Amino acid sequence: MEYFYRKWENTTTNDENLQYVLPSADRNSVLLLLHNDKLAGHLGFKSTIARIRQRLYWAGYTHFVDRWSKRCTECQKRNQPSHHTRGQMKTYIVGEPLERISIGILGPVTRPYKGNTYVIVVTDYFTRYAAAYEVPDIEAQPVAEKLFEELICRYGLPLQIHTDQGSQFTSDLFIQLCKKLHIDKTRNSPFHPQSSGLVERLNRTIEDMISKFVAKHQKDWDQYLPYLMMAYRVRQHEKCHDKYTNLMTGRNSYVCEREEYTPAIRPLNIPTETTRQLIEFLGANMPDVSDLLDVEPRAPSPMRQLLNKEPPPEDVRSAFRKIPSSPITRKFTGYFFH
């Protein structure tokens, strides 16, 4: 079977990718994977297009994805038209990950089987990286413990934490925790959640994603939360055109781009069946370093001389044998005769 690829250059990042030309018979399966799957999260048109554009191509794929998104039953039940009115807002400038994070509380929601009825939502202002942690209640102690164990111990100390004026964030316990860790603590104005617009908008996105997968009894939402948060983290940043998790971890992350739709490419015909064949291939095709430097080669080490010696006769077993263990005996002995 022959596979066709298309070379595509991103004019924003100047990156070149090979896009697999997808047959028409596989397009519905790809959209089910990249839009409807729980690792895709029923995200919008731009996120789905960005995922397809990294690895796949077919003629008219933007129109196909737009029509798929508009006809998605779960998206029609939940999504609502966005209001384009904009107020006067002040931009808070950040320059590195974890310089400023925002924390909010989502809930109460339907009590699941595990008993957690609230979700602590955390997002980073620089990378837009997000995390969500389930808690049974929102008292000061469980919230502080969850943030310290899951956020700070895993990602490090943020320079500034911005929250609302909830009692769990204004308590002496949380304030003393920030002072001990030398974290600057800021808060919203009273009855003005717009100053935490980043995490408030994230709460709505999480609610939309969960509602498209949860059952009628709504007691299984905590089973989908880790998958949907992963789907959110690998979406593409609209400003810098990179994934949130890439900006946070510094490496590329693949989730929904599975190998059945992207056949592997082997650019070089190198024999890699065994390590010995690879070493012989490299030794025959690469010049000696001493020839390049025009110096005399150094004498081989005693260990190298031992490895280069001729093997013993066939009636000699040169492999070492392990003997029964004991506190005072040697672990191995060798050169046994028949």
Q: What domains can be seen in the chain, in order of their start residue?
A: 5-77 (1.10.340.70), 100-249 (3.30.420.10)
What whole-number distance in Å separates Cα of residue 147 and Cα of residue 176?
Answer: 14
Q: What is the pLDDT of residues 290-307, one digit of tens each?
A: 454 454 555 665 666 666
* pLDDT for position 296: 56
What whole-number distance in Å separates Cα of residue 124 and Cα of residue 296?
Answer: 57
* pLDDT for position 298: 56
Mean pLDDT of 153-175: 91
Query: pTM above 0.85?
Result: no
User: Residue 255 in contact with residue 230, Cβ under 8 Å?
Assistant: yes
* pLDDT for position 182: 92
* pLDDT for position 2: 75
Q: Bigger pLDDT: 69 or 254?
A: 69
> Quick check: 269 pLDDT over 70?
no
Q: What is the pLDDT of residues 206-239, one digit of tens each?
A: 988 988 888 888 888 888 899 999 888 888 777 6
What whole-number distance in Å separates Cα of residue 128 and Cα of residue 243?
Answer: 9
Per-residue burial over 92-130, b = 16 or more CB atoms within 10 Å of its CB, e = otherwise: eebeebbbbbbbbbbbebeebeeebbbbbbbbbbbbbbb
In this prediction, what percent of the chain has a pLDDT beyond 70?
70
Instruction: Compute the half-sphere exposure of residue 199: CA atoms within 13 Å on the CB side of its CA.
Output: 25
Q: What is the pLDDT of residues 176-188, one digit of tens each?
A: 999 999 999 998 8
Sorted by sequence, the CB contacts under 8 Å of residue 209 that are 6+ apart come out as 41, 42, 43, 224, 228, 231, 232
Angle at 11 between CA 243 and CA 238, to 5 degrees: 35
Q: What is the pLDDT of residues 95-129, one digit of tens each?
A: 888 999 999 999 888 888 788 899 999 999 888 89
What whole-number distance in Å separates Cα of residue 169 and Cα of residue 9?
Answer: 47
